[in-house]
Every structure is written in structure tokens, then in C-alpha cells.
Chains A and B, each alone.
Chain A
Amino acid sequence: MNLLDGYGMDTITMAGPLEAKLEAMKSVGFSQVMLMARDLVGHPGGVKAAVKAIQNSGLRPTGFQVLRDFEGLSGHLHNYKVDIAKSMLEMCAATGSKVLLACSSTSRHATEDLDQIAKDLKKLAMMAIPLGIKVAYEGLSWGRTVNEFTTSWDVVCRADCPNLGIGIDSFHIFAAKTPLDAIEDLDPDRIFLAQLSDFMWHETPSFEERMTTARTFRVFPGEGVHSEQLADLVLRLERIGYRGDYSFEVFNDDYQQLPLETVAERARKSATWLHQDVLHRSAPLPVWAESLHKVAS
């Protein structure tokens, strides 16, 4: 058992080729990775070569991101998005990822009718079933209609489909200042992904500020000014029985120009902080002690 087993980095955090990112994550002890579509299509060897690199790394995919602006559209826009979703699902399946992340729509062309949004998400979930994929629906804090996890949960409940759940993202919860009490209302088995990050500002009142911060200046859990809230969030998730993965969704322009090992090391420190200082889980025994333990038992 590795201390970092329940935690993983996102490829979006680092610059450089996919293989180098995977190697850097692995070298500090991570065993899983949150992938993005660009890892595959931007790979110089193409999608197949990227899939091979992921398989060769031995890292387990936490999930695959991201399908945007899918729900609430009609006519040709809906049909177009269905096609995009199919391609995303096929890539997701090719990597062996069991979770596709779908973010709430920001489109002005999308309906605000929650029942229609639920209907579209149910269709997406149905498309995912034959491929063995779960859909994690995440409320972006600048989403047009769904911008808090309370609303994304409402929509998921309306859709009522076993492979449709929510994705929790700490950034969006803190940016939108959604009270954490509502965590109690969630079914832990329908939280398909928990993405964690912190940031350096206390206030992000406008959608514009949220977007800029989210895309350029997130930091690892424990590095920002919301550490206490983040710890509270993780403890609440644990309390309701969430036992899924935590992935670090850290978009940061500075990290994009640091050596990969340096960034991976920061992620490792963050995971250790979460594991030992927040969740108070014990550190695993050193290898020599583990083997002694086995002999004794």
C-alpha cells in the first residue's frame, strides 16, 4: 500500500510531452493520472501511441476530461455535441478510463430548464453504458444554469441513471462560496470524482475573475488561502462515506514553466499533507517493516 494511492495528478498541471509527465508523476510515487483529451490527440505519435504510453506507464487513469457544453442544446447544436461526446467516450474507453468528466454548460444557447438538462445528461450516460464508462457531471462556477454542486446534484437526481453522478471540484465550490453543509445531502456512491485545488485570492465575485483564476492560478491543496476549507471539504466527504479518488486539478501558468519533477514534488507534498495532516491516516510502513509484518502474521 502506497501513501499516495488514493491521490493523483492531472496532466493539465504540467508542460511537456505525455511520457515525461507520466514519468514525473510515477517517480514521486503516484499510481494514477487524470487524463485530458489533448494528451491523446496532441501526441506526436497520435492517439494510439498516447494510449500505449499510458498503458506502459502502469498508471491507472483516474478519469478523462473534458466534455464541455453538452447539455441543454437543441436541433443541430445538440446533434453536433452528441458527435463530439461519442468521440470523447471512444477516447476515454481507449485509455481504459472508467470516468468521463462533463462540465456544466456555459452556452447562452443552452436551455435553463433543469429537466431538459437532466434528459440530455441521461442520454449521455446511456451512450456511455455499452462502453463501461461513468459520467461525472461537474458544475463550473461560471456555468450558465448549473454553477454549484447543489444544482449539479439536483440534475443528476432528476436524470436518475446509475452511471451518471457528480464531479466535485473544490475550486468551484470555494469560488461560488457554496455552503459545505449540502455535502451531507450527497450519495457518496454517486460522487464519481473529487478534484481538489486551492487558490490565492479570498474573493472571486465575478464569473470573469473565477474563469481567469481557475485557468491560470490554481495551486495544490495546502498551498493557497483556502486550506482550512479544503480540509473541511475532504473531511465532510470522508464522513459521508466517499472512498473514491482525489485528483489535483491544478491549472497554473507558473507550474507550466517549472521542471516536471519540481511540480510533481509539490503535488506529492500536497498529497502527504492531505493524507497525514487532514485525514490523519497513518503513513505506510517502510518496505522492510512490511515484510517483517508479513513473516510475523
Chain B
Amino acid sequence: MNLRTTDREALPEMPNRLGIQGIEFIEYATTRPQALGQVLESMGFRPIARHRSREVILYRQGGMNLVVNANPDDVRVSATADGEAVISAVAFRVQDALKAHTRCIDLGAWSVASHAQAMELHIPAIHGPGGTRFYFVDRWQEFSIYDIDFKPIPTVDQQPAAVEDMSYFGLVQYIGAARSEDWMAYYEHMFDFTLIPDEERFGILPKGKLMKSPCGQFLWQLIEPDPWMEVDEAPESLKRIGFGVKDVAKAVKTIKANGVEFVESKELHPEDRGALTRSALGAVSFELVHQTS
């Protein structure tokens, strides 16, 4: 460091003790992988590879990887009701997967036992909300983890472009009543997420509490049931994915042409700031969020 770059004030940097650098993949669990595949394809994803030993398919568009887990031996798949598809895992890119996993366990996370078969990658994981998991992946720069566990689907483009350069913007987590404080403490302590002020919101669904990853690449939204609602005993869950896009209107037009319907009501409809797709397969919906950079 030379003198020219020295900060005038010693401002603390945002800690990122796991070295989180974005989302490597998001996983859905379902007993109806083809139906979910159709939904994903209409959103611009393409199936590009199959898992070597399990009923799992890798979808991709641009820099986004999405895994559809239909392995009947996985309790998270068999636990899905009536063929509903649910978000079952999020994999974070980290500096060192083992160190990240060890640190989280030391802080009180619950470890997930690995079921990797011979010659497959053992991706360390901890339990998340509901039946979900958080994976830690550190081999995302030098080579692709998918080359080990997946076989490419022949003749398919392995790097399909994203619709209007869409990328992962964030996840929405539904939580129990009066649980915001707990989950904020959890994510701050485990992953160094930081709270975004209530005045600062993105997209068209501003409810709840919003946290930012320490790498600044994705957001995490926590939504409690409204106080006036009947007692909502639904288990906590990862509800939907948000995609960041520069031009929401253009993306909506392209996706609509694929047959996707958007929520259009007086209160909620596609606009420049964002849009929400209608639920498919029970509760699968996606949010588009205007992103400037």
C-alpha cells in the first residue's frame, strides 16, 4: 500500500469472515422435476447437465446455476406436498469451504451429514430455515464443481445466455411471527450479513427486513406474517428467488412471450422497479428487481 491510497479516516470495512463471494447455485426439491423444468425454462433457464448418480438436473442461464433435486431418497424431496416445488438449498461461494463450515458449526450451526458417493464432491453444508440447507463451495474459480458430479447433456449449449442479463438478486425467506430479530442475529453472526435501513428498498415488494451479503452481491429479505393474520403455523421457508435486471419492462416482455404470467392487480403489477410472476406448481414464483449495475 502506498501513501496515496491510505484512507483519511480509519473506516471499518464490512467483515466477511467466510469470504462469501455470491451465490454458486440454488436448489429446488420436487417430485415433479419435469413440470418444474418447464417453469424454469419459461424463465430462461436451460437444462445443461444430469447428476451422475442421482435424479438431479442442473439448469443454467448466464451466471446463474440452478439445481432441481428429484432424488426420491432425499427426505427434502419426499417431504414436498402434492408435487409442490420448494427452494431446498442455497450454495454460497466462499473463500475456504471447510473453514466456513467449521466456523459456522463453532458458532452453533447444525451440520448436514454428507451423502456423497464415491468420486463425488463432498460439499459441506449446514441446516437453514425449515428443511433447507446452506452449502459452502470454494472451487468456483479454478474449475467447475459441476464437471465432477454432473454429465453434460449432449448437444446442449453449456453456457446459455441470460434473459436480459438477469442475475441472482436475492432470496425471500418467510419467517414466523416476531422472528425477525432472531433471524437477523443469526445471519449477522453466521454470515456477516448486514441490515439495510427500512427506507432503502428495491423492487415492488418492500415488506419485512432486508439484509445484504458481505460481498454486496445479493440480498436477503425476511418476511413475518401480518399481525392481523390468523395464526400462521406454516413452517419457515425460502419463499422465492429475486432476479436482478437492468430493464424490467424488456425482461417482462421476453418472459411473457414464453407464456409466464405476471401478477397484475391494482396494488401490484409490473413496473419499472420490478415485477412478480404468478405462482406455478403450488408456490413457485419469481421476482424481477430493477438493478442499476
Contacts and interface: CB of A to CB of B under 8 A. Distances in A.
Contacts of B128: 130
Contact of A161 (B110, B176, B185): B185
B190 interface: yes
A162 B182 CA distance: 6
A162 B108 contact: no
A162 B127 contact: no
Given A132-B176, A132-B236, A126 B181 contact: no
Chain B residues touching A, range: 10 to 19
A38 interface: no
B179 interface: yes
A122 B107 CA distance: 8
B109 interface: yes
Chain A residues touching B, range: 10 to 19
A160 B293 CA distance: 36
A130 B179 contact: no
B131 to A, nearest CB: 10
A125 interface: yes
A123 interface: yes
Contact of A122 (B108, B181, B183): B108
B189 interface: yes
A244 to B, nearest CB: 13
Contacts of B146: none
B63 interface: no
A124 interface: yes
Contacts of B183: 129
B202 interface: no
B150 interface: no
A83 to B, nearest CB: 11
Contacts of A162: 181-182, 184-185
A127 interface: yes
B129 interface: yes
A163 B182 contact: yes
A129 B109 CA distance: 9
Nearest to B186: A129
A86 interface: yes
Contacts of A86: 110
Contacts of A129: 182-183, 185-186
Interface in B146-192: 176, 179, 181-186, 189-190
B94 to A, nearest CB: 18
Nearest to B106: A123
Interface in A144-168: 161-163
A286 to B, nearest CB: 28
A163 B183 CA distance: 10
B186 to A, nearest CB: 5
Nearest to A89: B110
B176 A126 contact: no
B79 to A, nearest CB: 16
25 contacts: A86-B110, A122-B108, A123-B108, A124-B108, A125-B108, A126-B107, A126-B108, A126-B109, A126-B186, A127-B108, A127-B109, A127-B110, A129-B183, A130-B110, A130-B128, A130-B129, A132-B182, A132-B236, A161-B185, A161-B189, A162-B181, A162-B184, A162-B185, A163-B181, A163-B185
In the A-B complex, list the 9 residue pairs whose CB atoms are closest, starting with the nearest.
A126-B108, A162-B181, A123-B108, A127-B108, A129-B186, A163-B182, A129-B182, A162-B185, A162-B182
Given A126-B189, A162-B181, A162-B185, 5 more contacts: A123-B106, A125-B108, A132-B179, A162-B184, A163-B182
